[in-house]
Amino acid sequence: MDRRLNSEQLLDKWEKRRAIQNLMVKFFSQDYLLRREKDMYKNYWSKADDVCLAVNDGAYKGKDAVKGYYKAIEERTKLESSLIQKKYPTRLGDKTPEEVYGAGIMDMKALTAPVVEIAGDNQTAKGIWTIHGMNTKLTPGGQVSDWERGYVAADFVWEGDTWKVWHLLYVQDLDHASGYSWEEPEPVFPEDPVYAPVKEFHFPEPNVKKTVFEKYRADRPLQAPPAYPEPYETFSETFSYGM
């Protein structure tokens, strides 16, 4: 399709692709690492009513459900930070909740292998990336470092003078403690009484329950990655990464 465009149109396509790449790096690679979950919906998501976030075991469909997902991350981070502060009173005991927020937790999602397509009408776009993540999670047994492998894909919509996320697919292919065989169950460490409240926290269930993508296990059948975008003219001609 691009071969039939003039130089000015090709430059516009290139700039729009660059803007999408920058958006996703800020969103996934930077803001997750810096624990900016409270601003993610406001900063990156569309104002459309039919926004959707699909994860491994279902989808958060609609504004309230998607906002609730990020609110839950924020609440979990507050809980984990307060427990880590309690565990290390000498280093963190005099810090305010704002200062200690995110302490001892890491969520690094490096994005690679992008495939981005801008619609012929320039009103929407699609993209997919591979995630190579390194995380430190808080469990009842303490802080555990994990490997994360997976995919993030999105439908974008042009709003005003910028791209916004319309539908997002975020699925993990692998989520497993580092240093242990991926073929074996996750290790369970002796419970630390300080961290015991972590097990009482539960994420809100997706309001659309469906197996979207199975995580790796030793007997999992071969599973293809999410569909890659192909050139299209208008969104009605293509598939959606939402549900």
**Residue from 9, 1, 28, 53 nearest 131 by CA:** 28
- Inside any domain, residue 189: yes
pLDDT digits over 95-154, tens only?
999 999 999 999 999 999 999 999 999 999 999 999 999 999 999 999 999 999 999 999
φ and ψ of 179, to 5 deg: 85, 5
* Rounded Cα–Cα distance for residues 63 and 189 (Å): 38
Give the residue, 243 or 139, on which the prediction is more confident.
139
Task: List CB contacts of 193: < 8 A, sequence separation 6 or more.
Answer: none
Is the pLDDT at 2 greater than 60, yes or no?
A: no
Q: Which of 72-86, 172-186, 224-238 has the lowest mean pLDDT?
A: 172-186
Q: Does residue 173 lie in a domain region?
A: yes
Is pLDDT above 70 for 177?
yes
Residue 14 has pLDDT above 90, yes or no: no
Percent of the chain with pLDDT over 70: 99
Q: Would you say residue 243 lies in a domain?
A: no
State the DSSP string of 95-159.
--HHHHTTTT-EEEEEEEEEEEEE-TTSSEEEEEEEEEEEEEEEETTEEEEEEEEEEEEEEEEEE
Q: Count structural domains, the chain.
A: 1
Q: Looking at residue 1, what is its pLDDT? A: 46
Q: Is 66 contained in some domain?
A: yes
Q: Which amino acid is at 114?
A: P
Q: Mean pLDDT of all residues in the chain?
A: 94
Q: What is the pLDDT of residue 13?
A: 87
Extract the tokens encoding 154: 């999105």
Instruction: Please say if the pLDDT value at position 3 is more than 70.
Output: no
Residue ranges in the chain assigned as alpha helix (H) = 7-24, 37-44, 63-87, 89-92, 97-100
Q: Which residue has the higher pLDDT, 196 or 9?
A: 196
Element of type H or E holding 168: strand 162-177
Query: What confidence tens digit (pLDDT) does each residue in 38-83 have?
Result: 999 999 999 999 999 999 999 999 999 999 999 999 999 999 999 9
Query: What is the average pLDDT across 14-30?
Result: 95
Tell me which of 185 and 208 has the higher pLDDT.
208
Which range of residues forms the domain containing residue 11? 2-237
CATH number at residue 69: 3.10.450.50
Query: 5 versus 78: which is more confidently predicted?
Result: 78
Check: CB of residue 44 under 8 Å from CB of residue 32.
no
Instruction: Compute the distance between CA of residue 226 and CA of residue 218 in angstroms, rounded to an integer.
Output: 20
Assess if residue 242 is contained within a domain: no
Tens digits of residue pLDDT in 26-39 = 999 999 999 999 99
- Residue 6 has a pLDDT of 82
